[in-house]
Amino acid sequence: MNSEPVNAYKNLMVTGGCGFIGANFIRYLLKESDFSGRVVNVDKLTYAGNPENLADIEKRFPGRYIFEKADICDRERMASLFDDYEIDTVCHFAAESHVDRSIVNPDAFIRTNIVGTFNLLELARETPDRLQLFHHISTDEVFGSLGQDGFFTEETPYKPNSPYSASKAASDHLVRAYHKTYGLPITISNCSNNYGPYQFPEKLISLMILNALEGKPLPVYGDGRNIRDWLYVRDHCIAIWEIMKRGKRGETYNIGGKNEMENIRLVEMICDILDTHQKQEGGRPRRELITFVKDRPGHDRRYAIDFTKLREELGWMPEESLESGMRKTIQWYLDNQQWVNRVRSGEYQTWIKEHYG
C-alpha cells in the first residue's frame, strides 16, 4: 500500500456526500480545488441527505460527478461500487450526527458510525494496490468536555459523553487501528462545530436563523453558557483537502475555527444580524424570542480546538471570522427560501422517492 501522500487521485469516493458538510466538500472539490479526477458520491439519503444540494453540480460536471444511492452498511453493494468505479481514495463523511437523536435512538448510530466504517475499511484493505488514501471525518466531541481553560489537541485522551460521540470515537479507533495493523494509508480529522449553507435545520445555528425569521421561540439549552468553537464549512472543506493532499499518513489533524462563543451570545448575534436585514412585525428585537429550556443529558460544557499542528505542518488558517461567516450563512438562508421550505416541509423526501425509489 502507498505510504506517502499522493495528489493524483482519480476516483474519489465521498460517503455521505448529500449531507451538509459532504455536499459543501464536493462543491469545493469540483468548483474551486485543484482536484481533476472523478467524485463518486455514495449516500443512503436519510433525513439529512438531500441530493438537491448538488443538483447544479450534477449538471455542470457530467462524467466527473456520479451519485449512487447506497448504505455503507450494505457490504455487498459497497464492494461492487469500489470495483465498478475503481475507487482509489475515500473521504468518509457518512454518519449519524445529531446528539439529540443519538440519545433517543442510539442503535442507528452504532450501526452506521461503527459497522459502516468497519465495512469501508475492510473494502479499502481488500484493494491494497489501488487505494491511495482513506480519510476519516470526525468530531471534537470524542474528547468530551473542557473546563474554562485549555484546548483539545491531537494528544487529548478520548472521553465521549453521548452515544453519538462514543460511536464516532469507536470509528476513529478503528481507522487508526487499520493503519497500525494493516498499513492502510489513512488520515483523520477532528473538527469543531460547523455552520454554513445547506445545513439541515435542526442544528443550532440553522434552527435559530429559521425560527427567528418566522418569529418562533429560540430554544436555548440550560443557562446558555455552553461554549463551542465554530468553523465555517468552506474553511473546513479547504482544510480537509489540504490534509488529503499533504497530510502525513497515519496522522490525526484537529480543525478549529478559532471562534469560541457561548451559545446564548451566538443566538444573540444571529438575532442582531437578522434585525439589520428585516425588522420583526412591530419592530420588536428578535432577542425577545430567546427561551431557555431544560438542558439535555450529557451536555458537554465547552469545546475548543487547538489546530497548531494543521497550521504549522500544512499552513492552513480559517478565512472567516464568526461574524463574517454568520453574515454569509444568514444571507444564504435568506436567498434560498425555496430550499428551506422544501426541507422543512419534507417535500424533498417525495422528490427522492420519485427519483431514487
Tens digits of residue pLDDT in 88-142: 999 999 998 767 788 888 999 999 999 999 999 999 999 999 999 999 999 999 9
Q: Is 7 helix (H, G, I), strand (E, B) or coil?
A: coil
Residue 168 reports pLDDT greater than 50: yes
Catalytic residue among 9, 65, 85, 164: 164
Local structure of residue 305 (DSSP, 8 states): B
150: alpha, beta or left? (left if phi > 0; alpha if psi -120 to 50): left
Q: Which domain holds residue 37?
A: 11-196+231-259+303-320+337-356
For residue 91, give Cα distances in angstroms to 120, 131, 132, 183, 241: 10, 12, 11, 17, 10
> Which residue among the candidates 141, 229, 260, 306 is catalytic per the annotation?
141
Residue 95 within any structural domain of the chain: yes
Examine residue 122 and state whether it is found in any structural domain, yes or no: yes
Whether the CB-CB separation of 96 and 113 falls below 8 Å is answered with yes
Q: Do the domain assignments include residue 48?
A: yes
If pLDDT is split at 50, 70 and 90, which confidence band does 202 have?
confident
Q: What CATH number does residue 145 fall under?
A: 3.40.50.720
Question: Nine-digit cell at 41?
Answer: 458520491
Q: What's the confidence (pLDDT) of residue 6?
A: 46
> Of 43, 140, 229, 235, which one is the catalytic site residue?
140
* Within-domain flag for 33: yes
Q: What does the pLDDT read at residue 219? A: 94
Question: Is residue 117 one of the residues assigned to a domain?
Answer: yes
Return the pLDDT at 356: 67
The answer to whether 164 is a known catalytic residue is yes
Q: What is the pTM of this model?
A: 0.93
Residue 281 lies in a domain: no
pLDDT tens profile 223-273: 999 999 999 999 999 999 999 999 999 999 999 999 999 999 999 999 999
Q: Is residue 179 part of a domain?
A: yes
What is the pLDDT confidence band of residue 296, given thresholds at 50, 70 and 90?
Answer: confident
Has residue 108 been placed in a domain?
yes
Which of 187, 200, 16 is CA-nearest to residue 93? 16
Q: Which of 149-153, 175-179, 204-208, 279-283 has the highest mean pLDDT?
A: 175-179
For residue 46, list its beta bridge partners: none
pLDDT score of 114:
97
CA distance 27 to 9: 17
Q: With cut-offs at 50, 70 and 90, classify the pLDDT of residue 3.
A: very low
| pLDDT tens-digit series, residues 151-166 | 999 999 999 998 999 9
Residue pLDDT, tens place only, 301-329: 898 999 999 999 999 999 999 999 999 99
pLDDT at 2: 44
100 is catalytic: no
The number of distinct structural domains making up the chain is 1
